[in-house]
Structure 1
Amino acid sequence: MSQSNNASVQSQEQLKINLGKELGFGASFVCEAVGHIHSRGLWIGDDPLSFSVPLLLLQLSLISIFTRSIYIFLKPFGQPSIVSQILGGVILGPSVLGYNLNFAEKVFPSKGRTTLETLSVFGFILFLFLIGVKTDPTVVLRSGKRSLAIGISAFCIPYALAALIRLVICNRLALNENTCMVLALVVKLQSLTAFPVIATFLAELKILNSEIGRLASSSSMICDLCFWVTMTLTYAADIAIAKSLKTSIGSFFSVVLHFSIIVFGIRPAALWLVRHTPEGKPVKEIYTFVVLIALMGCVFLGEVVGIDALISSFLVGLAIPDGPPLGAALVERLDCFVSVLLTPIFFTLCGLKTNVFTIQKWRNVGIIQLVVCVGFFGKLIGTMLPPLFCRMPFRDVLSLGLIMNSRGIVELILLNDWRTDNVLNDECFAIMIISVVVVTGVISPLVKSLYDPSRRFLAYKRRTIQHHPRNQELRILACIHSQENVQTIITLLDASNPSKEDPIALFVLHLIKLAGRASSLLIAHVERDKPSQNPTQSERIFNAFKKFEHENQGQVAVHCYKGISPRTTMHNDVCSLALEHRISFIIMPFHRQCINGKMVESFHVYRHLNKNVLDQAPCSVGILVDRGNPRNSPFWLAEASFYRVCVLFLGGADDREALAYAQRMLKHPRVLVSLLHFKSSKLGTEAIEIVGGTARSKMLDAEILGKYRFNAQLNERAAYTEEEVADRKDVLAVIESMDNAYDLVMVGKRHGDSQLMTDLSKWNEDRELGLVGEVIAARDSKLGASVLVVQQQTRVWGLRDPEVNKTEMYRNIIQNQELQYAK
C-alpha cells in the first residue's frame, strides 16, 4: 500500500510540473489525491488536516465545543441558541481566531469549507422539510380577523416605512446603485416575519401555547405568506422581463408540474400511509424510507427546473400531514440529528463568513442601521395597532410586537443567498449579521421580562365550590391524559349529584403531547357526521363522557376540547380554558396510578403539570389519585349499594373546600359521607395546635363544621366523628384504621404551620399532595379508596389572602380613610 501511495504522489507531482510547463505561466496549483480521505497517521508522515475525514471531525468538534460553551454562558441572560451558534462562528472565523492565517488555512481551508457547506445545506434541506411537516397550512384559513389584520399590517407598514426612508436616503445622499440595491434588500428583509423563526422562538421561550404564542404563530404565518407571494410575483416579473418568452413559459409550466407532483402525488400517498397505520402503532420503516426518497426526488427535480432545494423541501414537508402518526414519526427520527448536529453548522458558517474587519465605511453602517430601525419600529407599530384596537393589555401587545420582530434561520438563508449571488458584499453582509444577532439578543430577554402567561389567570371573583351560588350550574373541568383516567373521573362526577336543580356543566380536556407540529392547538371537538369504525383515542374518551351526558340528560352538559401542546407548558391550556369558561373546579389525574394493585410512577412531566396548575389555576383544583378501586364503575348507581366518602378535616381553606364538595355529594341519595374532625386530645395549656391559621380562618372552620354537624343530625347518610390526636403517630393510626371502609377519601392540600405538621413533614419529604395527602396516597398505603386532594382557589384579584372577605376588606379601607380625614 505504501508503494502505491508513493507512486500516486510522484505521478501528481509530475502532473503538476507538466501542467506548469504547458501553460507557461507562474500560477500555483493544488492537486489532491483522489479517493484518499483518511490519514495514515503522524508516524507515517501524513498531516491529518490534509485529509477530509479528520479535518471534518475537527471542524465539527470545534463548532460543537464553542457554540455549546457560549450557549451555557449566555443562557442565564435569556439568550436563544441561534445567538450562541452565530457567535461561535464569528469567534472561529476571520474576526477572531481566523484572523490568524495559519489557523484559517489549517482548520478551515477552502476545500474543507466546501465539504462543511455541502453538509450544512443538506442539513437545512432536512430542517425545512421538518418545519413543513410540523406546519398546518389550514391555520391560515382558520385564522380569525385579528390574526389576519396583524399579519397584513405587520408586513405592509414596515415595508412602506422602510421603502420610504430608503427612497429619501437614496435621493438626498446621492448613493450609488449598489448601495441602493442593498437597501432594497434590507427593506424586504425587515418586512419579513418568518413562521419557522417565530415557532422556534416561542418554543424556546416556552410560550407556544399561551395566548400571545398562538396569536404570534397565526399572525406570522399570514405575514410570511404575504412576503413570499410578493417575492414570487417579483421573481416572475423579473424572469418575464429579462428572459425570452420561451424561457418564461417553460419555467412557468415546470413550476406547475413540480407543484402538481407534490399536491396530487405526494399528498395523497402520505394520506394513504396515515390511513394504513393503526392508531398507537409505530410507523413502518418502509413508510419513512418512501417519504425520504420522495423528498430527495422532488428536491432534485426542483433543482433541475430552477426551484431552490430549500423551497422544494419545505413544500414536500407541507404535503405530509402534521402530527401523529406519520408527521410525528418523521420528526422523532430526524429532529435530533438535524437540530443538534446539522443545523448549528449553518449558523456557524454564517459567523465564519462574517469578517468585522471588512466594515470600513461607517457611513454604510449608519445608513443600513437606519433602515433596519425604521423597519423594526414599523413592524412594532403594525403589530401593535390591531390588538390595541381590540383592547388587549399594553404589555401583551408590546411583547407580541417584539416577538414578530424576531430574526433567525430564514433571514440568514436569504442573506447567504444574496451574498453568494454577489448582491451583498462582505461589508454589508457583516453589518446585517451583526444586526440579526443584536436584535435577537435584545428581544429574547425583553419578552421574558414583559410577558408572564400566568398573569392573565388571575380571577376577578371567587370561583370555588364553597362560594358557588345555590341552584346555579356548577362548571367542572376534567383533564384527561388517557382512557385509564376516564372511569374514575366519571364515578366522581356521578357522585357529585348532578340534578335539574343543581346541574353540572362538564368541560372535558384531552391533553395531548405536541409531536410533529410547530404550533399548539386548543380547539373544541367536532363530532363526525358518521361514526368511525376505528375511532381515535380522543373520540373514545369523548364518547364515554357523551354517554354519561346521555344517561344524565338535562342534568349534565358535556363540552369536549382537545389541547395539543408541549408537556412543559400544558398547564396554560388548562388554566386558559378554566378562565375562559368560568370554571369553579378542575379535576387533574395524579401522576401515580394503581396497576394490578400496585401504585406505579408515571411521567415526571405530569407532576410538573399538576404543580403548575395548582400554582396558577384561577379556581379550585382537585388532584384525583386512582387506586384501582373496583367500585369505581360508571354503573355503580344502578346497584343496591352506597358510595362511601370520607373527609379528613384538620382546618384551613382547603379542608373547607373539600367539605363543601362532600356536602354537595351528600345530596345524592346513594352517597354516604363521614367527616373525621381531628382535635387535640389534651386540654388547656397542654393542648396541641392541629394546624396554624388566623383567627378568621378558625372562625370559618367552626362555621362550616357547625353547619355540617347540624345537617348530620337530620340526615342519616351523614356521620361526624371527632378524632383526638396528640402527635404524628395518632394521625397515622387514624388513617391506617380506615383500611377499605371507604370508596373515596377527601382532604385539603395545605395546612397551616404547627408542631404536628412539622412532625408529619419528617415522615414524607414529598409535598405535592400536601402533608396529609401524601400520607394517604403513599405507595405502600393499604388504603384501597381513591383519594381527592383539594386546593381552594389561591389567586383572587385585589386579595393577598383569599380567605379575606372582599366586602369587609373594602369596609375597613373606607373606615380607615374616614378616620384619617377626621383627624
Structure 2
Amino acid sequence: MAGPPPQAGILEGANPVAYNASSPITLFIIQASIVIIFCQLLHYPLRLLNQPRVIAEVIGGVILGPSVMMRIPGFKASIFPPDSIPVFSNVANLGLIIFLFLVDIRLFTANWRVALSVGLAGMVIPFGLGVAIAWGLYHQFRTDAGIVEINFGVYALFIGTALAITAFPVLCRILTELKLLRSNVGVTVLAAGIGNDVTGWILLALCVALVNNNSGLAALWALLTAVAWTLFLVFAVRPVFMWTLRRTGSIQNGPTQGMVALTMLLTLISSWFTGIIGIHPIFGAFLVGLICPHDGGFAIKLTEKIEDLITVIFLPLYFALSGLSTDLGLLNDGITWGYVIAVIVIAFSGKIIGGTLAAKACGLLWRESTTIGVLMSCKGLVELIVLNIGLQAKILSARTFTMFVVMALVTTVSTTPLTKLLYPPWYQQKVERWRRGEIDWDGNPTGSSADSTNESVEKLNATQIRRLLVYLRLDSLPSLFTFITLLGAETSHAAQEAAAASATEDTVHIRKRPLEVHGLRIIELTERTSSVMQVTEGEEYYSAHDPVVNAFRTFSQLHDVAAAGRVAVVPVDSYPETLMSQAADVSSDFALIPWSEYGSVTEDQSVPYAINASERFKSGTHLDFIQKTLARATQTCNTGIFINNGFGGVVKTHELRRTRSAMSVRSAALESAVLPVTDKSHHVFFPFFGGVDDRVALRFVLQLAKNPVVTLTITHFNFSGAVDEIDTAPLAGASSVLSKIVPGTTTSSLDPTKSWAAEAEVSAHDLVLLHTLQSSLPQELVGRVTFKEVSVSSASVLKKTVDVATGAVGKNPKNAGDIVVVGRRHTRLGDDKDEVSGGDFKKTVGVVADQFIAKGVKASLLVIQAGGRGLES
C-alpha cells in the first residue's frame, strides 16, 4: 500500500523541480523566476540601445527554447516538461487577455481622418505583398507537421494581416522616447497606428473565425454574433458601466477597488464569450478596452493599478512561451532562408512605401513621409501575438512561425535607429522654423526690416526681465510665488494706475503687462504604460487640469501677472533639454529653476520626508540635472538656480516654542493656526566681484529693488595685495580708468595668473557699469539701495564675503525672508583652496555660492548664470 506523498518536501528527499499535477505551483515558480530574470538581464543592455522591452522578452524566450537552452540535455525535461506547459500557458494567456485590455484602453478617437487615410492606405500595399508571398509559403511549407488543411484564401488573409499590422503599443513608446509625439510625424503616426490596429484585429478575427469553423456559414454566424456582442457592449453595457463609475466617484477620484473588480470581470466575461463562439478570447478583452472611458483620466488611473503585475510577470511568460515554440534550427536550408529574407524585405518595403505615399498625400514633406513609413513598419508585440494565434490555430507551422518571429525582431530593432537617421533633431528644428517663415529652405533668414527693428528693441530691453520661465515644482511653489510677486511689482503698480484712471475717465485703457511668466511643469516619463498614456492622450489636457499649473495660473491672475503654463511628460534625462527648449520657444529673458527641497529630480507627491542638508545638495542625479541645464542655458537665456531657505516666510525654524495643555491626545495633535507674516519686507544682498554673470546679476537685483518691500545692499569686493611685484606697465590705460572711477583702485587687484589685458578690460567694464548704475539710480530707489565697497586680499575674499553677508541678512526673523544673489562663475576666485563642501556641488553652483551654503547663511540663495543675450552685457 502506497503511503501519502512526502509532506516535508526537500527535507524528505522530494525533487523540487519535479512536476506534480496536484501542486503545479512549485515548478511554475521556478519557470516564472527563470523567465523574469532572463528578460530583466537582457533588457538592461538593450535599453541602452533604445530598444523596447518586448525585444528582450522575445530573445529571452528564444534562448530558453529549443534554439539554445533546450539543446542542453535534461533542461527541457526538468524545467519545462510537456506536462507543465498547460499550466504555464494558462497563466501566460490570462496575462495576455488583460494586456490586450490595457492596449486598447489607451486608444483614443482623435484625428480619425488621418487614422482612416494614412492607417488604412498604409495597409493596402503590405497586405497585397503579403498575399503575394503567401502563395509561395503556402505551397512550399504546406506539408510541414502541425498544421491543419486550410484553403489558400484563409492562409493568404492571415499572412497579409500579419505583414500589414503595426504594433501600436511599441509605436507609442518609440515616439515618446524620440520626442516626436507633438510633431507632425508623431501626430500622423499615432492616428494611423490606431486605424491600423483596429483594422488588423478585425481582419484577424475574421481569419480565426474562418479557421475555427468548419464551414463558411458557421464562420459567418460567428462573425455576426461577434458584431452583436460588440453592439451589446457599446449600447447596453457601456451606459450602465458609465453610470456606475459616476455613482461611485471613480471617474473623478480614480477607480475604487470594486470598480477595478467589475472592470476585470467584464474583461474576463467578454473574453469567455468570444472564445466560445469560435473567436480567440483576446478579442473580448479588446472590446472591453474600447468601451472604457478616458474622462477624468480614468483609463490612466486604472492602468496604473494593474499594469506592473502584467508587464513584469504575466507578459514575459507569454513571450517566453512564444520563444519556446521558436526553433531557429528549423531554418536549415537555402530556400527557407530565402523566404526569411523575402518576408523581411516585404515587411519593410510594403509598410515604408504604403505609409510614405499615404503621408505624402496628406501634405507632409518627403522626408517626414518616409519617417512615417519606417515607424509604421514596427511590428513588436502585436505581431508576436498575431503569430501565436496563427500557431495555436495551426495556420502556421513551427518553421513558418520561426520565420515570422525573426522578421518581427528585425523590423522592431531597426525602427528606432532608422527613425533617428531619417528625422534627426536638427532637421526637425529646420522644418519647424521653415514652416513658421523664419528661414527659407536653405536656412537663410527671411525677416524683414521690421523684424530687424524688433530685434534691436529686444536687445535694448535685454537687461530687464520681461519674459520669465519658471520650472514649477510642487515642493517649491511657495518660494516661487513669492519670487514672482517681487518681479511683478511694476505690473501691480501699472494695474493700480489703470484702475485709478478708469475711475475718472470713460475711455478704455489697454493695460500694459511688463512681466510675462511662463510656467513649465515636468512629469517623469517612465517605462509604464500609464506614463506613455499621459503623453499620447495629449499634454494639452494635463496642462489644463494639472493642479500645480492651475495653482500657478490662479496666483498669477490674482497678482496681475500675465501667465501661461503647460505640462511636459519626458524621461528624466530629457529634463534639461525640455526646459531650455521651452525657454527658447517663449523667447525667455530669464529661467528660474528651484533647487529641490528633497534632493530629487522627480517629484514625490506623498507626504514630504525629512532630509538633511548634505543629502539635499549631494544628490548625484539632481546635480547632474542642474549642470546639464546650465550647460544648455549658455546659448539660450540667463538662468537662476534658486535655493530656498525660508523665502516668503514659510518653512522657518523657531527656537522658542510655546507649551500648552490638552484635554486629549487628539486635541494635542492639532496644529496651531499660524498668523500671517506682518512684515512683508525682504533684504537682498549682492556681492559684486565682476564678470559677465555678476553684471547680469547686478541688473537683476536692481530690478528686484523696484518692489517697495525690497531693500538691497550691493557690496563691491575690491581685491588687493599678493601681486605687488607684477609688472603693471601694460595696464597704464586700464589703471587710469579704474582710478578715475573708484579712487585708490590699482591694478594690483588683478589675478597674476590671468591675461593682464583681458582682465583689465573686464574689470574696467565691471566698474564702469557699477558706477553708471549707481549714479543713475532712480530717486525712488535711493533710500532702499546701498552701495558699499570692501577692499580685501584675494586669500581671504571668500571668508570676508560670508562675514559681510552674515551681517546683512537674517537679522530680522519676522520678515518674509532674505536672499543672497551671486554670480555663478568667477575665474579670479577659481583657485581658492578653501574646500568646504563637495566638489560636485561647488562645480555646479560656483565657489561663492558653495561657501554660502557651507557656512549656513540665514538666507535663500539665487545663483545667476549669464546666457543668450546676457553674454553681451
Q: Provide, for residues 731-776 of structure 1, a one-character-per-residue CA deviation record: whole Å limited to 9, x for no partner.
A: 4434433332673322223333755456457665414741246436
2:714 matched to which residue of 1?
Answer: 675
1:562 maps to: 567
Q: Which whole-Å CA distance do the structure 1 matches of 2:117 and 2:330 have between them?
A: 37
Gaps of 5+ in 1: 6-35, 529-534, 550-555, 797-801, 806-823
Contact 2:523/2:568 (CA < 8 Å) preserved in 1? yes
Deviation at 1:401, TM superposition (A): 5.0
CA contact (8 A) 1:463 1:583 kept: no
Say if 1:101 and 1:579 are closer, same or farther in 2 by CA, change over 3 A.
same
Equivalent-residue separation in structure 2 for 1:424 and 1:694 (angstroms)? 80
Cα-Cα RMSD: 4.8
| C-alpha displacement of 1:582 | 2.3
2:809 to 697, 714, 739: 739
Change (3 A) 1:422 1:178: same
Q: By how many angstroms is 1:417 displaced?
A: 0.3
Return closer, same or farther for 1:309/1:611 CA change in 2, 3 Å cut-off: farther
Equivalent position SS for 2:383: helix
Does 2:540 correspond to 1:523? Answer: yes
* Matches of 2:220 and 2:119, distance apart in 1: 36
- Following superposition, the deviation at residue 416 of structure 1 comes to 0.3
Query: Do residues 481 (structure 1) and 473 (structure 2) align?
Result: yes
1:55: which partner in 2? Answer: 27
Amino acid at match of 2:232: L
Secondary structure class of the residue paired with 1:782: coil
What corresponds to 1:726 in structure 2? 794
* Alpha carbons 2:270, 2:285 under 8 Å: kept: yes
Cα distance in 2 between the residues matched to 1:394 and 1:691: 56
* Equivalent residue letter for 1:518: V
Other-structure match for 2:629: 613
Q: Secondary structure at 1:582's aligned position in 2?
A: coil
1:425: which partner in 2?
397
Counterpart of 1:16 in structure 2 is none
Q: Does the C-alpha gap of structure 1 residues 269 and 753 become closer, same or farther in structure 2, counting only changes over 3 Å? A: farther
1:225 alignment counterpart: 195
* Helix, strand or coil at the partner of 1:788: strand
Superposition map of 1:79-118 within 5 A: 79-100=51-72, 102-118=74-90
Q: Give the whole-Å Cα distance in 2 for the aligned partners of 1:48 and 1:643.
A: 72
CA contact (8 A) 1:652 1:693 kept: no
Query: Counterpart of 1:336 in structure 2: which amino acid?
Result: D
Distance 1:612 1:764, change over 3 A: closer
User: Match for 2:124: what amino acid?
Assistant: Y
Q: Following TM superposition, by how much is the alpha carbon of 1:591 offset from its aligned partner in structure 2, in angstroms?
A: 0.3
What amino acid does structure 1 have at the position aligned with 2:773?
N
- Structure 2 length normalisation: TM-score? 0.71
Identity over the aligned pairs, expressed in percent? 19
2:867 to 793, 800, 806: 793
Deviates more, 1:369-378 or 1:757-766: 757-766
Determine if contact 2:120/2:195 at 8 Å carries over to the other structure: no
1:470–1:502: 8 Å Cα contact kept in structure 2? no
**Would you say the 8 A contact 2:134–2:155 is kept in 1?**
no
- State the shift of 1:234 in Å: 7.8
1:159 and 2:128 matched = no
Tell me if structure 1 keeps the 8 A contact 2:714–2:787: yes
Q: 1:540 — aligned with what?
A: 551
Preserved contact between residue 130 and residue 163 of structure 2 (Cα < 8 Å)? no
Report what 1:17 is aligned to. Answer: none
- Choose which of 577, 581, 590 in structure 2 pairs with 1:585: 590
Query: AA paired with 2:195?
Result: L
Judge conservation of contact 2:685–2:805 (CA < 8 Å) in 1: no
Q: Does 1:665 align with 2:704?
A: yes
Q: Deviations over 1:132-155 (max 9, x none)?
A: 45x2614446xxx8xx38x84365
- Equivalent pairs, count: 739
How far, CA to CA, are the matches of 1:172 and 1:740 in structure 2? 82
1:508 aligns with 2:519: yes
Q: 1:735 and 1:401 mapped to 2: Cα distance?
A: 62
Offset of 1:120 from its aligned partner?
A: 1.0
Partners of 1:55 and 1:107 within 8 A in 2: yes
Distance between the aligned counterparts of 2:789 and 2:363, measured in 1?
54
Q: Does 1:188 align with 2:161?
A: yes
Shift of 1:86: 1.9
Report the 3-state secondary structure (helix = DSSP H, G, I; strand = E; otherwise coil) of the residue aligned with 1:3. coil
Cα distance in 2 for residues equivalent to 1:503 and 1:194: 49
Counterpart of 2:128 in structure 1: which amino acid? A
Deviations along 1:110-146, one digit per CA (max 9) or x if unpaired, are 221111111111122233333445x2614446xxx8x
CA contact (8 A) 1:194 1:220 kept: no
1:442 aligns with 2:411: no
- Residue in 2 that maps onto 1:813: none
Distance change (3 Å), C-alpha of 1:567 and 1:344? same
Between stretches 591-600 and 722-731, larger displacement belongs to 591-600
Provide the rounded CA distance (Å) in 1 between the counterparts of 2:280 and 2:707: 68
Alignment correspondent of 2:218: 243
Does the 8 A contact of 2:67 with 2:326 survive in 1?
yes
One-letter amino acid of the structure 1 residue matched with residue 468 of structure 2: I
List per-residue Cα deviations over 1:351-395 (Å, max 9, x = no partner).
110112222453344245324323413433555568889999998
Do 1:161 and 1:378's aligned partners in 2 also have CA atoms closer than 8 Å?
yes
Q: Distance in 1 between matches of 2:153 and 2:271?
A: 34
| Residue equivalent to 1:783 | 858
- CA distance in 2 between counterparts of 1:115 and 1:648 reads 72
Counterpart contact for 1:654–1:750, Cα < 8 Å? yes
Shift of 1:346: 1.5
Q: Match of 1:557, as an amino acid?
A: A
Q: Which residue of 2 aligns with 1:709?
A: 771
Which is further off, 577-586 or 725-734?
725-734
* Alignment-mate amino acid for residue 505 of structure 1: E
The answer as to whether partners of 2:486 and 2:707 remain within 8 angstroms in 1 is: no
TM-aligned CA deviation for residue 71 of structure 1:
3.7
Closer/same/farther in 2, CA of residues 356 and 245 from structure 1, 3 Å limit: closer
Deviates more, 1:171-180 or 1:474-483: 171-180
How far is the alpha carbon of 1:107 from its aligned partner? 2.4
Note the C-alpha offset of 1:609: 4.8
Alignment CA distance shift 1:768-1:608 (3 Å): same
Matched residues in 2 for 1:630 and 1:196: separation? 46
User: What SS class does the counterpart of residue 342 from structure 1 fall into?
Assistant: helix
- 2:139, 2:715 → 1: CA distance? 88
CA 666–597 in structure 1, closer or farther in 2 if over 3 Å, else same: farther
Q: Is the 8 A contact 2:688 2:717 kept in 1?
A: yes
Alignment match of 1:408 (pick from 380, 401, 404): 380
Task: Determine helix, strand or coil for the equivalent of 1:354.
Answer: coil
Indicate conservation of the 8 Å contact 2:637/2:867, yes or no: yes
Alignment CA distance shift 1:518-1:39 (3 Å):
farther
Conservation of the 8 A alpha-carbon contact between 2:61 and 2:321: yes
Paired letter, 2:794? A
8 A contact 1:546–1:558 mirrored in 2: yes
**1:480–1:508 Cα contact (<8 Å) kept:** yes
Which string of whole-angstrom CA distances, capped at 9 and with x for unpartnered residues, describes residues 270-296 of structure 1? 344445865xxx865445444434443
The equivalences for 1:267-666 within 5 A come to: 267-274=242-249, 285-304=257-276, 308-320=280-292, 327=299, 330-383=302-355, 401-445=373-417, 467=459, 469=461, 474-482=466-474, 484-486=476-478, 488-495=480-487, 497-499=489-491, 503-513=514-524, 516-519=530-533, 520=535, 521-523=538-540, 536=547, 538-549=549-560, 556-592=561-597, 601=616, 609-617=625-633, 618-630=636-648, 643-666=682-705
Instruction: Letter of the 1:380 partner, please give it.
Output: I
CA shift for structure 1 position 485 = 0.9
d(CA) in 2 for partners of 1:348, 1:219? 29
Q: Given residue 737 of structure 1, which amino acid in structure 2 is its aligned partner?
A: G
